[in-house]
Amino acid sequence: MPSPPDSPAENPPDSPADNPAHNPADNPVNASDLVITGMSGAAEAARRLNAGGVVALPTETVYGLAASADQPAAIARVFAIKGRPVNHPLILHIAELSDLERWAIDIPDVALSLASICWPGPLTLLLRRSERVSEMITGGRDTVAIRIPAHALAQRVLALSGPFVAPSANRFGHVSPTTAAHVLADLAEFLDPHTDGVLDGGPCQIGVESTILDCTVTPMQILRHGGISAEEIEALLLEGSLEAASGPQRASGMLASHYAPRIPVRLVESDFEMRSAIAECGAAGQQISVIDLCSDLVAYARDLYALLRAAENSHSDVIIARLPTAAGLGHAIRDRLHKAAAPR
């Protein structure tokens, strides 16, 4: 089967055997051979992770491509399968709050308080890493991003396998996957059904990635808007407030262009701009897909990536998407749309 293109941060391997994503099987992968389901599938997923394989699995946010946090070769395969730059850090998923001190040090009281309230859930905390955390996970940085997912299958896998890393289970920079079918469309050809798998847990409930909060700076900074809003986090703080991200790129989702379909995305703010954009693109002979769920932000977040994927797989030439108000989940939706529409 084909190996994925090399990560932009790496040189091409000398031979297929040097490529951690290489699968020596001679025959093309039958996508259905990769799929496992239910709690028995979660147990099988844990077995494959413990044996050094990689497994795509559902969380409440998006599907992640998991590898054991203690297995460097498996983590290397995650980077290669995705085509992800090796200096782009990963999020570490743990099973219990009590696991946090094994992987992070100098944890601020406010971080522990937020974790105790928000976990399991779509909040990722950036903390000082312990010596146990591989630099492969952090991209060579002294910080590590950690969360506990709120999906029964992911939690079962964690209980049986221990902590794992799990960036979105798609090709790097492409639209994130919220169903097992999305994962298979992007990655099936790069996975080995004998060692890897796709745990099908149905569509993801939230549909956008976790919020990432940098707890190593004061005031804390939101590095990525996500499934829990800035307003919700600030309401939990006894004092102080949050600031927008500043400084170097140090967490997932901070690149200018990301979450991008294969066709252009044009953004509008109002009904008038939507009508004007449709008229302009129509006059140019373009086929158009329209995305506008501003009346229901929960549905907009949940369905956004599926709508972007459906549009790129249609005969459309352009996507016209309406930006929601910058409040609540609207922050995350606007962030994803702006990055999907950015030059690339």
Give SS3 for 336. Answer: helix
pTM score, whole prediction: 0.91
Whether residue 23 is predicted with pLDDT greater than 90 in this model: the reply is: no
Cα(282)–Cα(79) distance, rounded to whole angstroms?
Answer: 40
Summarize the confidence of residues 53-67 as an average pLDDT: 98
In sequence order, what DSSP letters do the residues of 116-172 get, joined into one string?
A: HHH-SSSEEEEEEEPTTS-HHHHTT-SEEEEE----HHHHHHHHHH--EE--BSSST
Q: Please report the pLDDT score of residue 32 as a whole number.
A: 86
Question: Which of the 8 DSSP states describes residue 74?
Answer: H
For tokens 């703010």, the residue is 269
Q: In this structure, what token pair is assigned to residue 104?
A: 């992070």
- Average pLDDT over the chain reads 92
16-200: CATH homologous superfamily?
DHBP synthase (3.90.870.10)
CA 320 to chain centre: 23
Cα four-point dihedral sign 247, 250, 252, 257: positive
Whether residue 298 is predicted with pLDDT greater than 60 in this model: the reply is: yes
Q: What distances in angstroms separate CA 83 from CA 4, 76, 86, 89, 112, one per listed residue? A: 7, 10, 9, 13, 34
What are the backbone angles phi and psi of residue 76, rounded to the nearest 5°?
Answer: -60, -35
For tokens 């996508």, the residue is 31
Summarize the confidence of residues 51-57 as an average pLDDT: 98
For tokens 């229901």, the residue is 296
130: closest CA among 93, 104, 164, 101? 104
Q: In this structure, what token pair is assigned to residue 193?
A: 């059904």
Write out pLDDT tens, residues 190-228: 999 999 999 999 999 999 999 999 999 999 999 999 999
Burial 123-145 (b: 16+ CB within 10 A, else e): bbbbbbbeeebbebbbbebebbb
pLDDT bin (cut points 50, 70, 90) of residue 254 is confident
pLDDT bin (cut points 50, 70, 90) of residue 27 is low
Give SS3 for 295. Answer: coil
pLDDT bin (cut points 50, 70, 90) of residue 239 is confident
Summarize the confidence of residues 230-244 as an average pLDDT: 89
Question: Domain map of the chain by residue range?
Answer: 16-200, 265-341
Query: For domain 265-341, which architecture applies?
Result: 3-Layer(aba) Sandwich (3.40)
Write out pLDDT tens, residues 211-220: 999 999 999 9
